């Protein structure tokens, strides 16, 4: 059934007047966040005027790190890589390795780019941080202060969002199999919207929280060109209601406050066309007040990649959406991905003549499973000798042959004790980290204008034993 053919089957709902929630921060909120204004100005200086996201895709000056590094990264006078104004070698000395390091102004600048892109075109929008990308209290604090809302995919992410300062009414709870405990927790906390995924959940929620504001998650049958594991909009998906099922779900939701539709077609999407199609498909279904078009804007993981700017992405979303509707989007990776890098120390260099040189570091698949999970490609540099010509593989230290972070990367003559940096680990790295081989998980350090603050300490061996009952 095509979207147009289901329209008659759906009750036409009059648009409900909706206070725009993604727009400029309300006065009371603005006062509470006054301290962040200076930070925002700092971000503006780093990124320069205009679309900061577009700036991030420009060629770096000769001898400077590539555009995949956080905004403001540079080689300092000593020739060392600097992130958020902090010398990476000094960070490695102070906090040890492996360590996740973020330039926090990069996160602010990306949030501002989203806000500016929407505000230039409409006052009916809401930018919802997909916190699964990096569900951390410090990041949540920055993004809540920037006026964003939050998408959480579990009770745990909800807890972190509340701790991170998101007002409950600005939170969207997702998940294809939310437990009764999670639904009860959300209702008790006054979560603004629950994104309902199935008929079982409709029934459950009606029973537990009649009148709760909801969106219905739709699988619109759109398949963007991305990895199958991060493609979610196709019909054959565990998520949401297919277009055929939607009319029945809308009818079925009468004891809940159905405010709109949601769809997320996938992640790391370079081609904007599927987003335009999504906006069109959803807006043809019914005139609900809210239209949530998900996340998924691609970022550059390697210097040859050139994703669309935030401005182009927002333009596409809004072009397809009807007048009077509040458009929501849920960026995760594009807010925090390029903000973070991982520091490692090289332990061994194994050269197999004519075959390959393995540079082994003190982390691997436990702190970044994405190369193994999705075949994700990364780049790397030696922190005080950026660039280079010796082709190497960067291997982790786990007991798995597949524990290779990068298959081919040109480095400058790597040797034991070098600090090696992999950029673009700000999203889906810390949050997907494990304790495989009983490796303690790395600390997280936030850097800004030359100051480094520890926001998560390194795990200890004692932490590893903490939950075991013997
Ligand atoms: N919204 C939903 C429902 C998602 O599942 C995801 C990612 O899986 C996102 C938003 C964020 O996607 P991205 O990080 O690619 O922007």
Indicate if the alpha-carbon torsion angle 399, 133, 36, 170 is positive or negative. negative
Six-digit token pair at 140?
């949540």
How confident is residue 156, by pLDDT bands cut at 50, 70 and 90? very high
Pocket test for ligand 1, best of 269, 270, 293, 296 (most atoms within 8 A of CB): 296
Please tell me the distance from the alpha carbon of residue 275 to that of residue 295, in angstroms, as a whole number: 10
Q: What is the pLDDT of residue 414?
A: 98
> Could you tell me the pLDDT band of residue 37, with boundaries at 50, 70 and 90?
very low
Burial class (CB in 10 A: 0-12, 13-18, 19+), 312: middle
Atom of ligand 1 nearest to the CA of 174: 3
Map residue 28 onto helix, strand or coil: helix
User: Is the pLDDT assigned to residue 21 strictly greater than 90?
Assistant: no
Name the 3-class secondary structure at 296: coil
Q: Which atom from ligand 1 is nearest to the alpha carbon of 267? A: 15
User: Hunting for tokens 């963007």 — which residue is that?
Assistant: 224
> Which numbered atom of ligand 1 lies nearest the CA of 428?
14
pLDDT digits (tens, 9 = 90+) for 371-399: 999 999 999 999 999 999 999 999 999 99
Residue 285 in tokens: 């279904």
The beta strands (E) that lie in 155-288 are given as 171-173, 193-196, 213-219, 241-242, 257-262
Kindly give, in sequence order, each residue whose CB lies less than 8 Å from that of residue 325, ignoring residues fewer than 6 positions away: 15, 124, 283, 287, 288, 289, 290, 291
Q: How far is CA 25 from the centre of its chain?
A: 22
Ligand 1 contacts (CB < 6 A) are 130, 132-133, 151, 174, 232, 264, 267, 294-297, 330-334, 427
Mean pLDDT, all residues of the chain: 88
Q: Give me the percent of the chain exceeding a pLDDT of 70.
A: 84
pLDDT value of residue 323:
87
Distance CA(437)–CA(276), nearest Å, equals 44
Tell me the mean pLDDT in the region 246-268: 95
Q: Quote the pTM value.
A: 0.87
Q: Ligand 1 pocket test: pick from 173, 177, 330, 338 the residue with the most ligand atoms within 8 Å of its Cβ.
A: 330
CA angle 409, 412, 417 (to 5 degrees): 100
CA–CA distance, 40 with 21 (Å, rounded to integer)? 19
Residue 36 has pLDDT above 50, yes or no: no
Residue 286 falls in the annotated catalytic set: no
Residue 381 and residue 345: Cα distance in Å, rounded? 12
Residue with tokens 């929630």: 21
Q: Is the dihedral of CA 162, 212, 324, 252 positive or negative?
A: positive
Expressed in angstroms and rounded, the spacing between residue 15 Cα and the centre of ligand 1 is 27
What is the predicted pLDDT for the residue at 219? 93
Ligand 1 centroid–CA 328 distance in Å is 13
Q: Among 176, 225, 295, which residue has the most ligand 1 atoms within 8 Å of its CB, making it the best to mutate?
A: 295
CA 15 from centre of chain: 30
447/398 Cα distance (integer angstroms): 29
Rounded distance from Cα 331 to ligand 1 centre (Å)? 6
Comparison of pLDDT for 431 and 58, the residue scoring more: 431
> Whose Cα sits closest to atom 5 in ligand 1?
264
Say whether pLDDT at 172 is over 70.
yes
Quickly count: other Cβ atoms within 10 Å of residue 177's Cβ.
Answer: 10
What local confidence, expressed as pLDDT, does residue 226 receive?
A: 62
Task: Copy the structure tokens of residue 354.
Answer: 């004519």
Closest CA to 103 of 130, 65, 77, 62: 65
* pLDDT at residue 233, as a whole number: 58
Indicate the pLDDT class of residue 7, thresholds 50, 70 and 90: very low
Q: Whose CA is nearest to atom 7 of ligand 1?
A: 267
Do 347 and 358 contact (CB within 8 A), yes or no?
no
| Predicted local distance difference test score (pLDDT) of residue 222 | 87
3-state SS, residue 2 = coil
Q: Are 458 and 443 in contact (CB under 8 A)?
A: yes
Q: Which residue has the higher pLDDT, 25 or 263?
A: 263
402-428 pLDDT per residue, tens: 999 999 999 999 999 999 999 999 999
Cα distance between residue 261 and residue 397, in whole Å? 45
Q: Which structure tokens are listed for 264?
A: 């997320």
Instruction: Give the per-residue pLDDT at 47.
Output: 33
For residue 432, how far is its CA from the centre of ligand 1 (angstroms)?
14
Please tell me the number of Cα atoms within 13 Å of 443 on its side-chain side. Answer: 16
Q: How far apart are CA 11 and CA 4, in angstroms?
A: 13
pLDDT computed for residue 194 by the predictor:
98
Note the pLDDT of residue 234. Answer: 63
Residue with CA at minimum distance from ligand 1 atom 6: 295
pLDDT confidence of residue 33: 28
| Distance, CA of 428 to CA of 344 (rounded, Å) | 18
Gap from CA of 295 to ligand 1 centroid (Å): 5
Q: What's the 28 CA to ligand 1 centre distance in angstroms?
A: 30
Q: What is the pLDDT of residue 185?
A: 98
In the reported structure, the alpha carbon of residue 305 is separated from the centroid of ligand 1 by a whole-number distance in angstroms of: 20
> What residue's CA is closest to ligand 1, atom 3?
264
pLDDT-wise least confident of 18-22, 425-429, 444-448 = 18-22
**According to the model, what pLDDT value does residue 19 have?**
35
Whole-number pLDDT of residue 279: 93
196-200 LR contacts (CB < 8 Å, sep 24+) = 196/249, 196/253, 196/256, 197/239, 197/240, 197/241, 198/240, 198/241, 199/245, 199/248, 199/249, 199/252
Compute φ and ψ for 81, nearest 5 degrees. -65, 140
**Predicted local confidence at residue 25, as pLDDT:** 31
Please give the number of the atom of ligand 1 that sits closest to the Cα of 217: 3
Ligand 1, residues 110, 265, 294, 431: which to mutate, most atoms within 8 A of Cβ?
294
């Amino acid at each position: 059934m095509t979207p147009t053919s289901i329209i008659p089957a759906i009750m036409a709902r009059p648009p409900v007047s909706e206070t725009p929630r993604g727009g400029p921060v309300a006065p009371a909120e603005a006062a509470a966040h006054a301290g962040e204004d200076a930070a925002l100005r700092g971000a503006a200086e780093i990124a320069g005027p205009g679309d900061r996201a577009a700036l991030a895709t420009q060629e770096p000056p000769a001898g400077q790190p590539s555009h995949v590094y956080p905004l403001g990264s540079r080689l300092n006078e000593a020739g060392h890589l600097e992130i958020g104004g902090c010398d990476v070698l000094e960070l490695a000395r102070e906090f040890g390795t492996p360590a996740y390091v973020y330039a926090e102004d990069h996160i602010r600048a990306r949030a501002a780019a989203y806000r500016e892109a929407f505000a230039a075109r409409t006052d009916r929008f809401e930018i919802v941080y997909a916190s699964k990308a990096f569900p951390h209290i410090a990041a949540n604090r920055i993004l809540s202060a920037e006026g964003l809302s939050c998408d959480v995919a579990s009770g745990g992410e909800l807890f972190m969002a509340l701790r991170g300062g998101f007002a409950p009414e600005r939170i969207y709870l997702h998940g294809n199999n939310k437990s009764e405990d999670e639904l009860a927790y959300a209702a008790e906390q006054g979560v603004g919207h629950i994104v309902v995924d199935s008929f079982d959940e409709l029934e459950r929620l009606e029973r537990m929280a009649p009148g709760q504001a909801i969106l219905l998650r739709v699988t619109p049958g759109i398949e963007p060109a991305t990895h199958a594991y991060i493609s979610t909009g196709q019909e054959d998906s565990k998520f949401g209601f297919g277009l055929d099922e939607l009319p029945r779900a809308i009818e079925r939701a009468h004891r809940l406050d159905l405010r709109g539709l949601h769809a997320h077609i996938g992640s790391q999407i370079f081609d904007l066309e599927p987003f335009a199609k999504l906006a069109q498909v959803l807006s043809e279904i019914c005139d609900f007040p809210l239209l949530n078009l998900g996340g998924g804007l691609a970022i550059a993981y390697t210097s040859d990649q050139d994703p669309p700017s935030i401005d182009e992405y927002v333009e596409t979303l809004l072009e397809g959406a009807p007048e009077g509707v509040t458009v929501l989007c849920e960026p995760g990776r594009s807010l925090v991905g390029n903000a973070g890098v991982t520091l490692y120390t090289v332990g061994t260099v194994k050269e197999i003549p004519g075959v390959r040189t393995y540079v082994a570091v003190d982390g691997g698949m436990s702190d970044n499973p994405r190369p193994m999970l999705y075949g994700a490609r990364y780049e790397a540099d030696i922190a005080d000798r950026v660039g280079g010509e010796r082709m190497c593989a960067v291997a982790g230290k786990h007991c798995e042959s597949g524990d290779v972070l990068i298959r081919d990367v040109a480095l400058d003559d790597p040797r034991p004790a070098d600090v090696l940096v992999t950029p673009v680990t700000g999203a889906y790295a810390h949050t997907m980290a494990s304790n495989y081989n009983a490796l303690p998980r790395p600390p997280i350090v936030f850097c800004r204008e030359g100051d480094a603050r520890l926001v998560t300490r390194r795990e200890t061996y004692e932490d590893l034993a903490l939950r075991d009952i013997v």
